[in-house]
Amino acid sequence: MSVPWEAGRAWAIAKKDMRIYYLKPPTIMFGIFFPAFLFLSFAVGRNIPLTELIPGLMAITVFFTSSSIGPVVIPWERRTGSFERLLSAPVSLISVLAGKTLAGFFFGVSVSLVIIILYSGPCFSDNGVRW
């Protein structure tokens, strides 16, 4: 089948995952709380400027948030049997996985954006801001 077809189906799967799983407890746990607390454990009590902490936080967030969708959703759907629904649909396995990956990608991007927006003020206006 054609590339636009496969892309369209992958996008449908990604949208579905975003709507259903972004607010699930395990996703929030691994995608938001985990990087946040990891960040705090680095930051609290140390005299490190925010400008140096933010890149670290970004790295942690991008890694954990993006990878919090697939490993949660795939076992979840395999258990309920709905993963088979995707496998028996007229799409290749690559597109199914691409859909799942896209959902993770957008989760990573959006959480990272929140961090950038929250801290862009203090970071860029005054490099001397301390935690």
Partner 1 sequence: MKDMAAINVSNLTKYFGQLCAVNQISFSVRKGEIFGFLGPNGAGKTTIIRILSGLTSPTSGSAKILGYDVKHHAIEARMRIGIVPEVSNLYEEYSAIDNLLFTGELYGISRKRRIEMAGELLHIFGLYEKRNEKVVKFSKGMKRQIVLSMALMHEPDVLFLDEPTSGLDVHSSRKIKGIITGLREKGVTIFLTTHLMEEANQLCDRIAIIDHGKIAAIDTPEGLKGTIESVQSVEVTFSEAITIQALKDIPGVAKITGERTSFRLYTATPKVVIKGVVTFADSKGLEIMSINTLGPTLEDVFVEITEGGHR
Residue with tokens 């949208």: 15
In sequence order, what are the residues at sequence separation of 6 or more whose Cβ sits closer than 8 angstroms to the Cβ of residue 57? 35, 39, 115
CB of 2 to partner 1, least distance (A): 10
Q: Which is nearer to partner 1, 89 or 114 (CB)?
A: 89
**Does residue 51 belong to the site contacting partner 1 (CB under 8 A)?**
no
Residue with tokens 């936080």: 57
**Does residue 13 belong to the site contacting partner 1 (CB under 8 A)?**
yes
Interacting residue with partner 1 among 33, 41, 75, 85 (CB under 8 A): 85
CB of 5 to partner 1, least distance (A): 6
Closest residue by Cα to residue 21 from 63, 83, 89, 90: 83
In sequence order, what are the residues at sequence separation of 6 or more whose Cβ sits closer than 8 angstroms to the Cβ of residue 55? none
Residue with tokens 């746990």: 29
CB of 77 to partner 1, least distance (A): 8
Please report, as residue ranges, which positions from 89 to 108 form the binding site for partner 1 (by CB under 8 A): 89-92
The C-alpha atoms of residue 105 and residue 69 are separated, in whole angstroms, by: 9
Question: Which residues contact partner 1 (rule: CB under 8 A)?
Answer: 1, 5, 8-9, 12-13, 15-16, 19-20, 80-82, 84-92
